[in-house]
Structure 1
């Protein structure tokens, strides 16, 4: 259940300069837990307003793993209590708990809540709560949610995750520069830097400020970007990464450098396998022996699974083409027809790759994931006759509830990545 809303704090009457000055180590260290929580909540309240979010997420302290400074979901931002309240990082090693101080915990905490609130902003863009003018970015976010697609790798299809967790040798860069994390890392870093420079200008510097700035120089966004470019020998690594995710989600075929595309696809598969192995392990702890479900990471994708993942992207693109005021009726007809042809070509390629016999009925038992779309029914785009009807005189569809906020305008199929 989402808890976006109004979350008043004791600091609501302060101006921004007064509020952010409380992140000085000399001030922050004197606040008790409830005062620190109010400071973080008020910071998120104002950041949410600036970003155009509907309501603000609720900030909470939580006992998170040492390597997780925060997370966000369904309108809640969880912040690592040990780091933000106590200024320490606890690590379990050889049966013992080892604690060491986080030198810039006041500024790291500021960066964390800004980072996580950007994820909350993205969540509202993806679910259609808010719309943004940047159509390319909206498409990137939509293709980077917690959904799956069928990935063709080494001659066979396997299910892959559209969100990447960093499971492979190149996984950290795939995780860091996927669109949602890219913008959260960079956006939080830039705003933290602006706030920090304003505090220094008014109040002078402190050891925690210098420690934070040194950390950014070594491990921040631009340092990580340089490392990724060197690793892949491609200045357009980030663009290629996110284009691969869009290609997978929307059924596009924009060219991407092979080494980047292969790395992203491998990470998609590894992330999916890792997530589902975790789910399987959790289920095995709670389910009776005779009802346990097993997960086979090498099991090939079925035609039904492939159709479900492929059709989802096509349906979303079609629905938002319908509401795009920049498309003339003639352009819509042309794009919808081309999209239908691409779909059938993709199904045929899949069948050939899987060596499916010619006698298989591709419509039998195939359903799209309408629950994820929030729709009662969706067009069966895999059928010989589709529920999408396009003609010179009228354009109609049946049963699709337009609930997501994605638009394909502005995505250039000829992009050189």
Structure 2
């Protein structure tokens, strides 16, 4: 059973009333943070949706809709024809179950057998918890062998990706989020739950700061973020530090996987984690907490700006085949930028590749100070004028 303090933290940040009646896809790498999140959500879901050990995932009716050759006696899902979650089956459960959890793991295949063992460990954990499991893999990454009695896993390949393995940080994150988003949409889930911790937040803010960020970047990783109109990314552990998460797992006797590549400081975030932060702590032992307080102050500011941004979008935005925005030279650039960032989220366009200069140019366009057509990361084309038209072009 998950540590009680961890359960309390999740209850406080993400009350079950908000998610127990809907679908949740839990991104699980096999590392400590995501394992703790999956275990905790499964325990909370069981306590509100049925007795311990009762699956709050697809349930008997959903498994009955799978072909005979793919059914499994365990709670893990069968291999789904076409590599997708069966449309319309997830969440349509009998027996009074109210919502579902799916453990989702993406295998990049960068570490050979170790990557396969990560996938296997998440599959086995999902089976023990009575939660359905789905795996995504980079092109060319074969499915690992499955232990007897566990059943097969459903699989999704990364769509429209080059055959070679991707190894840069931004691309790896983009592929994972794409996989989780597609999984959630096909399953009819409302949330994607991720296991980011307070330490991840500190590292992210330092990373943003050194890249040259604005106030939004200094607000850190948002606890909740919309992806389109019907999907929300939730991070229930964002206020819990990494050590507390590991202590909770040890207390419950739950193992996790350690990714040896996390020690490779060639990756920028690893360098921040392994070298920069320990160095800062030698002079400022409470630096993590101090940065955390600064993040919270920035979030307060961000919430105010976002409320103004939502109002601005209602007045200036209209959807359709292309995004249409009325020009506005009066509203403060901070509000316009926040509105544009929320618009990016609604459209499902990746914000990771967007730098401050891109957002500044967009705000300048809205203010009528840009006259030339330009293309932003992600093949998003901007046509200045009044109204301004923004649309993703074909690659």
TM-score by length of 2: 0.29
TM-score by length of 1: 0.28
Between Structure 1 and Structure 2, whose CA radius of gyration is higher? 1
The structure with the largest helix share of the pair is 1
